[in-house]
Amino acid sequence: MPDSEQDGGNTARNTAGLRPPWKPGESGNPSGRPKRKPITDAYIRLLNEPIPGDKEGRTFADALAQKILKEALNGKVPAASEITDRVEGKVTLPLSGPDGGPIEVRTLNDFYANSCPNSSKKDETGNS
């Protein structure tokens, strides 16, 4: 017999006396499964490293920002857009319904009820 069974260890056969790790109705992992972003993590790590042999001691992030800024100053609109989006945030477009009014949201039930007035409607039990 393995040691874990002899000394009362936590095994599938010996779970007596163990309390649940969380209360009923409470999640054991409230944040959910962690999101893995291996490429993003690699970019972040590399962008913060100093450029080997750079006389100014810049990081890759510093050099990249300077390059995009120079392109923007030379008239490259996509580079200027990238800078303004990063600094000021992307512009949001307001949404509105006809004549600037509110947007009407309809369900499929509303659609079918209005488009098929002679169709029989079923009650909550499914009967006509």
Which pLDDT value is given to residue 30?
76
**Is residue 84 one of the residues assigned to a domain?**
yes
- What is the per-residue pLDDT for 47? 96
Residue 78 lies in a domain: yes
Q: How many domains does the chain have?
A: 1
Q: Is residue 80 part of a domain?
A: yes
How confident is the model at residue 91, as a pLDDT? 86
Is the confidence at residue 121, as pLDDT, over 70? no
Q: Residue 92 CA to chain centroid, in angstroms?
A: 18
Instruction: Write out the residue range of the structural domain in which residue 79 sits.
Output: 60-90
Residue 55 forms part of a structural domain: no
Q: Which tens digit of pLDDT belongs to each residue from 8-63? A: 555 556 666 676 667 777 777 777 777 878 999 999 999 999 999 999 999 999 99
In a domain, 82, yes or no: yes
Q: Is residue 48, in this structure, part of any structural domain at all?
A: no
Do the domain assignments include residue 83? yes
Q: Which residues on adjacent β-strands are paired with residue 59?
A: 50
Residue 1 CA to residue 7 CA, distance in Å, equals: 10
Q: What local confidence, expressed as pLDDT, does residue 93 receive? A: 85
Residue 36 maps to a domain: no
d(CA 69, CA 73): 6
